[in-house]
Amino acid sequence: METLQIAEFVLPATRRPEGYFEEVEIAFEKAVSNSADIRRYYRLGSEVLCLRFAGEALLKSLSMAFSHLELPPCLPSLTINCWDCDSTDTPMPPPPWLMTAYGPRGHIQGFNNEVIRTVYNPDNSILHMYNNRRRLGIYWMQHPRILPYWEMSFPMRCIIHWWSKLRPFQLVHAGAVGFDKGGILLTGKSGSGKSTTALSCVRSGLKYVGDDYVMISNEPIPFVYSLYNTGKLVPNSVNMLPHLSEKISNKESLSSEKALFFLNEHFPEKLSAGFPIKAIFLPRVTHQKNSRIRQASSAESLLALAPTTVLHLEGDGKIAFDKMRLLTTSVPNFWLDLGTDVEQIPYLIADFLERSNG
């Protein structure tokens, strides 16, 4: 009988995800030797993040959002190598994938497997890679430049998301405010009022954990950790919180950007690294004067939290969904109907938490 011989087709190592990752890593080390090896350490949940920079070009724009969590040098559980070609005079290995490999959200087909994750972000032309065996990330761009304001507000979120897959943490699209004994998670899609609610609390006795992306854990108790000390507001919301108008970092660009705040520059005493989650609040804008809290179901909470989280972040949707399902069924859930008198909001939340915290 005639046997059909099928030639085995083997890609060269650099055209495979692991091989390309190693090639990029070697290029990063060259960039470091051409410039400087700068390391900064930050709290990441109950673990440690190390941002390693080749030179100073990206240092400020990428580290400002994490500055409230800075630690002295220590053993990291996630390291991210950040660099650019132009300031370090170091070439980047060209992309080994075809032009047809670019998918939604920058997903690179053929370069995402159980070990390696790859996204080339179409919003800002930044390459994100992650090797989960080595807990090592790569964050690369061709030219050093002022990053888009949203990237400065939550840098490296997809690498942190991939890292959290095998850990008890989960990055979620939510904010959080509260007291050291406990606080609330604020969730909903963009425009629901998360940021207005969180930033309205900055002048109150409540502490601020974040307004857009925070990290949650279900073990041993529901807990929220701060990642970024930033806040973003649409112009109309800035008008409602006039005391923040002097703190805007991108005043010259407000015709096309949201107002961006770095709270560690102005309100460091108001920031918290995290606290237990006592409840999930689902803000939504009403045209009533007064704000009010009313019961929501776990499913309503999951519907507000999960789609906006898993559809913004690339990969691992099922695992993220399960972590969020567990959270929404472990704590009480409430609608927060936001009135036009924003001064009421922190009092309403503080009153709720004082009763919950006992």
Partner 1 sequence: MSSRYYISHLNVIHEVIDGEAVVINLEHGNYYSMNDSGAYLWQLIQNGFNEEQITAIMSEQFSISSETAKASLKVFLDHLLEEQLIISVETLPVKEQVMVESKEMVYNPPELTVFNDMQELLLLDPIHEISEQGWPHFAQNTLEKF
- Helix segments in 165-206, DSSP class H: 194-200
Query: At closest approach, how far in Å is the CB of 22 from partner 1?
Result: 19
Name the minimum Å distance from CB 76 to partner 1: 27
Residue 107 or 203: the one with the smaller Cβ distance to partner 1 is 107
Closer Cβ to partner 1, 212 or 223, answer by number = 212
CB-based burial label for 16 (10 Å; 0-12, 13-18, 19+): middle
Question: Whole-angstrom Cα distance, residue 148 to residue 177?
Answer: 26
CB 206 within 8 A of CB 177: yes
Minimal distance in Å, beta carbon 5 to partner 1? Answer: 33
Q: Where along the sequence are the contacts to partner 1 (CB under 8 A)?
A: 85, 91-92, 94-95, 99, 102-105, 120, 122-123, 125, 127, 142, 150, 153, 189-190, 212, 232, 256, 258, 297-300, 302-303, 306-308, 310-312, 317-318, 321, 325, 328-329
The whole-angstrom separation of Cα 333 and Cα 299 is: 9
- Taking the C-alpha atoms of residue 296 and residue 303, their distance in angstroms, rounded to an integer, is 11
Q: Which is nearer to partner 1, 272 or 328 (CB)?
A: 328
Q: What are the residues whose beta carbons fall under 8 Å from the beta carbon of 241, sequence distance 6 or more?
A: 196, 199, 200, 233, 342
User: Dihedral (C-alpha) 266, 268, 270, 274: value to the nearest 10 degrees?
Assistant: 140
CB of 306 to partner 1, least distance (A): 6
- Report in angstroms how near the CB of residue 70 gets to partner 1 at its nearest: 25
- Identity of the residue, 26 or 36, whose beta carbon is nearer to partner 1 in the bound complex: 26
Q: Which is nearer to partner 1, 142 or 288 (CB)?
A: 142
